[in-house]
Chain A
Amino acid sequence: MPKLMLLGDEALAQGALDAGISGFYGYPGTPSTEIIEYAQKSKQAAENNIHRTWSSNEKTALEAALGMSASGKRAMVTMKHVGLNVAADPLMNSAITGASGGLIIAVADDPSMHSSQNEQDSRYYGNFAMIPVLEPGNQQECYDMAFYGFELSEKYHIPVLLRLTTRLAHSRSGIVTKEPIPQNEMRKPEDMFQFMLLPAIARKKYQHHLELQKDFMRESLNSPFNAYKTEASSKKLGIITTGLAYNYLREAFKGEEIPYPVLKIGQYPLPEKQIHQLYDSCDELLVIEEGMPVVEEQLKGLAFPGLKPIHGRLDGYLPRTGELNPNLVAKAFSLPDTIGRPVPEIVVGRPPALCVGCPHSDTFLSLNEVMAEYGRGHVFSDIGCYTLGFMPPYNSINSCVDMGASITMAKGASDSGLFPAVAVIGDSTFCHSGITGLLDCIYDKANVMIVILDNATTAMTGGQNYTGYGKLEDICLGLGVEKEHIRIFVPLKKNYPEITQIYKEELAYNGVSVVIARRECIQTLKKKNKMETVE
């Protein structure tokens, strides 16, 4: 069979499809978005009627996937690392309820923050929830781990966390596929206690969860994704790699045999027995892991006298932050480093900017006219293309923290006396996490003006649909925003007089106003026009 050339994300999606998945759930977020996008384009998924539409946010997505699992079917939820913060509640509690049909929680981390607010490492969540974690090292493992993850999940009735990182999620390579297997039949939960976390039941279930840990450990020890190479010409150093760090190790040694023992980890919890063997047989250890020093910290625990040196990101053998690469790994071994010519001084940065003609641009420029008299520090914002409104020539916004925080921070600031307090939030972000914040504002009759940027899409991540499309006014009305304080304008230069008038009136109103800036993202518009000409 010819190899399929797939991104890590796509390989995981294809693996899940071939492994009999019934539903993908998720919210877009780089670098995880292509998992569901692949399923949305897949003929196989369409023919088998696999669920693959977007959810409002990561929490609703994980809960829906848990519901599908509770009904006996295989489900996967996908998100970027910060999405797991939003879904942390169902994560921690589904670890206790457990799963029924195979449940994979696929999370893509973004070390070096290529397009993220932070570089948190999802393996901490795996440890926290005490569930098995799979970390593929290449595209083929992404594919294979879908099968393996569902089986592991069903064997122990436990959700399995699968951690990807940017370089694997967004790198393409050939994969060999397997014969697809059919979906599970729908079946009602047999155990009426399983999803009922009343304290008395939860305590028992937690005990059971603790007992499962030794099974998870045994699975790691025997995992096809963990490999322990003991033969070595030198025992000066023992090496532990996780996920794709193994590739950088091999690259650093130019594909030659590694002279030291190597423990390659692709499945957690860490196989303690092998770690002990490695520790006992070598003078020092070096941990090479993508992301935060999760394994290194675990091994070091509390430093005590007599501990052999354990090297890694915590002692400067590898940088404390950021992505790994072959050169950084080579340096950790004091291997000769390679570096080309320096970047000439004349080379300047080319930072991303709002597209020419972007609707956000007109919303910001008109807002600036009205806000000029108050100075900076009044406009709380959020995450999306419009975060670029912080940059010149706009300099319009002052915050970007986590999805939805614009509205709630503006409310808190208003509570403390700031006037005016303005929130600028994207339409998709509003539906993700802004609605509940708006309800808080209405409940307290906070003096805030909330600008919703309705560009009809989730533009930042490439133009996905979102759940509240076409319903923004109805949502605001339904929550209790007064009809006369829901204002709509079209962000175009010729409308500036009208727009600034609207802003002024709503700033003057002592209460909650919602101003909707409605014009489609020009990128999605272009795509649509292109499709129409093809048809």
Chain B
Amino acid sequence: MKKDIILAGVGGQGILTIATILGTAAIKRGMNLKQAEVHGMSQRGGDVQSHLRLSDDPIWSDLIPYGSADMILSVEPLEALRYLPYLKEDGWIISNSTPFKNIPNYPPEEEIYREIKKIPNYVLFDADTLANAQKANRSMNIVVLGAAITHLGFSQEEIEEAIKAIFAPKGEAIVEANLRALLAGIETK
């Protein structure tokens, strides 16, 4: 298996946590992994992205080549569009539809949705509302992850195991909230 994933969002929305969970599950399987992170200037409310590469074979570049990502996994709809040049022809966009508006010229949501819907394979859904419904307000990122895992070839159990391992130090309640968020995402079609 080989998956190249662009993770996208705004600073502080938790895309690195998604990367850590997928990475943990991949390593459990004995896969290779490379993950380029963004640190520094771009964290002050700017856009952030991470290139996550998982493969059974050796991985060379830390960066995903343009036109070859299997998925853009975005916790914010405008950010999902920013990385389209990386997506391959039949790649998937999985995106939260709730906008994060910290700029005065944020485009109208409807136009953003229209652009996302031009991509043959997409899942666009309101992950914020689903997270809130699960009383897991801070786990919107995990809801988005949940919507992606079957497209990435991971099972629910594998991801649950990774979530338990990663959030265990933060206590049982946080583990449970994230597991509920994951399930809510998985059930999204």
CA distance A184 to B88 in the complex (A): 53
Most A CB atoms within 10 A — which of B41, B45, B58, B68?
B41
B37 touches A327 (CB 8 A): no
Cα A3 to Cα B107 with chains together (Å): 44
Of the four ranges (under 10, 10 to 19, 20 to 34, 35 or more), the interface on chain B belongs to 35 or more
- For B11, B35, B47, B65, which residue has the most chain A Cβ atoms within 10 angstroms? B65
Are B36 and A167 neighbours in the complex by a CB distance under 8 Å?
Answer: yes
Q: What residues on A are CB-neighbors of B107 within 8 Å?
A: 346-348
Q: Which of B43, B44, B86, B88 has the most chain A CB atoms inside 10 A of its CB? A: B44
Give B86-108 interface residues, CB cut-off 8 Å to A.
Answer: 86-89, 91, 102-103, 105-107
Whether A344 touches B23, Cβ cut-off 8 Å, given contacts A173-B34, A255-B57, A388-B44, is no
Assuming the contacts A171-B35, A340-B91, asked whether A350 and B46 have C-beta atoms less than 8 A apart, the reply is yes
**In the complex the two chains form, is B33's CB within 8 Å of A172's CB?**
yes
Contact of A355 with B45 at beta-carbon distance under 8 Å, contacts A174-B33, A342-B84, A462-B39 already known:
yes
B183 on the interface (CB 8 Å rule)? no
A535 to chain B, nearest CB (A): 13
Q: How far is the CB of B93 from chain A (nearest CB, A)?
A: 10
B85 and A352 contacting across the interface, CB-CB below 8 Å? no
B61 touches A353 (CB 8 A): no
Complex CA gap A330/B65 in Å reads 10
Closest CB in chain B relative to A385 CB, distance in Å: 7
Contact of B40 among A115, A338, A339, A341 (CB under 8 A): A115
Measured CB to CB, the closest approach of chain B to A333, in angstroms, equals: 13
Contacting pair A346 B111 (CB below 8 A): yes
A351 touches B (CB below 8 Å): yes
Contact A343 B82 (CB under 8 A): yes
Cβ-defined contact, B65 with A338, below 8 A = yes
Select one of B47, B81, B89, B91 contacting A344, CB under 8 A: B81
Complex contact A247–B61 (CB within 8 A): yes
CA distance A168 to B39 in the complex (A): 12
Q: Mark B3-43, 1 if CB is under 8 A from A, else 0.
A: 00000001100000000000100010000111111111111
- Chain A's interface size range is 35 or more
Contacting residues, chain B, for A348 (C-beta < 8 A): 78, 103, 105-107
Could you say which of A115, A172, A251, A350 has the most chain B C-beta atoms within 10 Å of its C-beta?
A350
Q: Tell yes or no: A325 within 8 A of B by CB.
A: yes
* Contact A340–B39 (Cβ < 8 Å): no
CB distance from B38 to the nearest CB of A (A): 7
Which of A7, A341, A351 has its CB near the most chain B CB atoms (within 10 A)?
A341
* A346 to B45 alpha-carbon distance, docked (Å): 19
A3 touches B27 (CB 8 A): yes
Among B10, B37, B46, B111, point to the contact of A171 (Cβ < 8 A).
Answer: B37
| Contact between chains at B67 and A30 (CB < 8 Å) | no
A: residues with CB less than 8 A from B are 3, 5, 7, 30-31, 33-34, 114-115, 167-168, 170-174, 244, 247-248, 250-252, 255, 325-327, 330, 337-344, 346-355, 385, 388, 460-462
Given known contacts A115-B40, A348-B105, A352-B42, what 15 new A-B pairs fall within 8 Å (CB)? A3-B27, A7-B37, A167-B36, A170-B36, A171-B35, A172-B37, A173-B32, A251-B60, A330-B65, A337-B67, A338-B67, A340-B66, A340-B85, A346-B111, A347-B78
List 7 A-B pairs, minimum CB-CB distance, nearest first: A338-B67, A115-B40, A30-B40, A352-B46, A251-B61, A115-B41, A352-B44
